Structure 1
Amino acid sequence: MSPKPPPHPRQNHLLAALSPEVQDRLFPYLELVALPLRALMYESGRPMRHVYFPTDAIVSLQYVMENGASTAILVVGNEGLLGITLFMGGESSPSRSVVQSAGHAYRLPRSRVKEEFKRHGELLLLMLRYTQALITQVAQTAVCNRHHAIDQQLCRWLLLSLDRLSNNHLTMTQEFIANMLGVRREGVTQAALKLQQLGVISYSRGLIKVLDRPQLEALSCECYGVVKKETDVLLHYMPQRQVIKDASAIPTVTLPTGNAVLAA
């Protein structure tokens, strides 16, 4: 059996949206890196050396409290990039970035990013629109965490995560999901069981299969719809999401054990 070919930079939709001229300037400096589950990409307050463009991974930005508690404020996948602080005037981030679903990303050195920004061209334009989409996601996450039930938050989180992958698989622990939502692990288990009883997902031995995405969207709070609508308007380069109609394309979320760390 032949090995699986490495992901192409164009599997990241933002990179794919760039003109051939800009791609020719940037692609030679892209470096493919593996992103293991729970790897630390950026640590709060530390200098950022690269911008990352995920192809088949999801990275979560978390805010960590003094007592060690954390909550995810946004997720980044193949729709954009990790490291917007570099073109917003900062050299470090106040949040921590952790790989939520293992995969790959292409990283670009800080110097090359800034050099392209100084051209005031299409990369900067795309990143400004992407930043606006992220602001909407952060704001809606804050509202959701304050006003909506855990099962609604889980639905929103599953949908946002699946929208940001080129495939239908997520890999993480139940404890990690609880950390993402800023809730107790027992709350995640109860929410997953509730969704299973409603026939939205199947849940067995740490494996979640989404059986009915339309119902999952209906059970989610309005926060998912707000973020999706804003993302679709601002990120015009994103492919349209299709409703799953056959069982072979059912999204799957795997919840194994394990932990891995990647140097920032």
Structure 2
Amino acid sequence: MDADHGRAPDGDGRRTAAPTAPSAPDSRRNLLLAGLPDAELQRLLPELELVDLALHDQVLTRDEPIKDLHFPLDCVLSLMASAGGGDQVEVATIGYEGMSGLPVFLGVATGPNDAFCQVPGRALRLSAAGLRRFLASDGALHQSLHRYTQATMVLLAQNVACNRAHRTEERCARWLLQTRDRVGADQFPLTQEFLAQMLGVRRGTVSLTASVLQAAGTIRYTRGVITVLDADALHRAACACYDIVQEQFQRLTRAPAT
């Protein structure tokens, strides 16, 4: 794998449009923010910037101080781990259910992973210092991030089990459903290279798998664009890991146990 894949050419890794202030409805697209009481969300909004992330924009750099966190609204971020020898392997993706820069919440200034935007879209940016200030009040966001940490642990463990136990076609259907959920649309850009990274297979295997799903009438895949034609059929083709992970992240919007 090319060690430079996904690296943005700009000095700070960003090619975003000028940031703008988000609205409360925009913010509630992200599940971590959706569960906040109105008063708490209104206090947080001035700290947030609405930004557009382009393909391959870098949001985290391994072993460097985490300056900003991103709450995706309809983009998808890819979390990469070093495999030695300059290679990188994707270990997780982050969408509207979560946040990049989780180590900041856990009290760590740096992290071991790079993170890039792999499906372009919008995100809310929050400085690491802003998060620390906001969490000093110990409100609902603090509780939501604890639940998100637990859900992320489940996701990472489920990915290991999924890669070991399920066929490529099942895993591909799962990833496509998750991406559809995250972008909030039936059509989205998705390169074969990115899909191969997500599934841990060669691009030729991705082409063959996509052909099987296309022949079944569940998707159309042309020129790096996926169109989900039958979400129910795609759900039936996916492994059970999709529902297991979805349940974990849906809990983020529920009231914490007392």
Check the 8 A contact 1:13/1:80 in 2, yes or no.
yes
Shift of 1:85: 0.9
CA contact (8 A) 1:76 1:82 kept: yes
Offset at residue 236 of structure 1 (A): 2.7
Greater RCO (Cα-Cα under 8 Å, separation 6 or more): 1
In structure 2, C-alpha distance between the alignment counterparts of 1:155 and 1:6, rounded to whole Å = 36
2:53 aligned partner: 35
C-alpha root-mean-square deviation of aligned residues, in Å? 2.1
- TM-score, normalised via structure 1 length: 0.81
2:162 is the alignment partner of 1:144 = yes
In structure 1, the gaps of 5 or more residues are 238-264
2:29 is matched with 11
Instruction: Determine the structure 2 residue equivalent to 1:178.
Output: 196
Q: Return closer, same or farther for 1:226/1:10 CA change in 2, 3 Å cut-off.
A: closer
- Code of the residue aligned with 1:157 in structure 2: it is W
Partners in 1 of 2:253 and 2:160 — Cα distance? Answer: 22
SS at 1:71's partner residue?
A: strand
Unpaired stretches in structure 2, ≥5 consecutive residues:
1-19
Deviation at 1:47, TM superposition (A): 0.8
Residue 207 of structure 1 deviates from its aligned partner by: 3.4
Is contact 1:51–1:83 with CA below 8 Å preserved after alignment? yes
> Tell me, what secondary structure is at the counterpart of 1:158?
helix
What is the correspondence of 1:149-164 to structure 2 with a 5 Å cutoff? Answer: 149-164=167-182
Residue-pair matches, total: 233
Output the CA distance in 1 between the equivalents of 2:88 and 2:213. 25
TM-score norm. by structure 2 comes to: 0.82
Match of 1:115 in 2: 133
SS of 1:163's partner is helix
Q: Where does residue 86 of structure 1 map in the other structure? A: 104
* Higher mean C-alpha deviation, range 122-131 or range 12-21: 12-21
- 1:194 partner amino acid: V
Q: Secondary structure at the match of 2:243?
A: helix
Deviation at 1:67, TM superposition (A): 3.1
Deviation, structure 1 residue 84: 1.3
Match of 1:193 among 211, 230, 241: 211
Quote the offset at 1:234 in angstroms. Answer: 4.2
- How far does the alpha carbon of each residue in 1:105-126 deviate from its partner, in whole angstroms, 9 at most, with x for none? 1111111111122222211001
Look up the SS of the partner of 2:28 in the other structure: helix
> C-alpha deviations, 1:64-89, integer Å up to 9, x for none?
31134433322222222211110112
- Paired with 2:121 and 2:249, the residues of 1 have a C-alpha distance of 22
2:42 corresponds to 1:24: yes
Letter in 2 for 1:33: V
**Could you tell me whether the CA contact under 8 Å between 2:219 and 2:226 is conserved in 1?**
yes
Between the aligned partners of 1:178 and 1:214, the Cα distance in structure 2 is 23
Decide whether the 8 Å contact of 1:32 with 1:106 is kept in 2: yes
Q: Counterpart of 1:193 in 2: which secondary structure? A: helix
**Which SS does the other structure have where 2:84 is aligned?**
coil
Residue number in structure 2 paired with 1:101: 119
Percent identity, aligned pairs only, is: 36
- What letter is aligned with 2:116? V
Q: Once the two structures are superposed, what CA deviation does each residue of 1:78-102 show, in whole Å capped at 9, x if it has no partner?
A: 2222111101121122122111210
1:211 to 222, 226, 229: 229
- Counterpart of 1:230 in structure 2 is 248
Name the CA distance, whole Å, in 2 between partners of 1:132 and 1:165: 23
String of CA shifts for 1:124-151, please: whole Å, max 9, x gaps.
Answer: 0011111211111111111112222221
Which 10-residue stretch deviates more, 150-159 or 12-21? 12-21
**Residues 100 and 206 of structure 1, relative CA distance in 2, 3 Å threshold:** closer
User: In structure 1, what is the Cα distance between the partners aligned to 2:182 and 2:209?
Assistant: 22
Greater than 6 Å deviation, 4+ residue runs: none
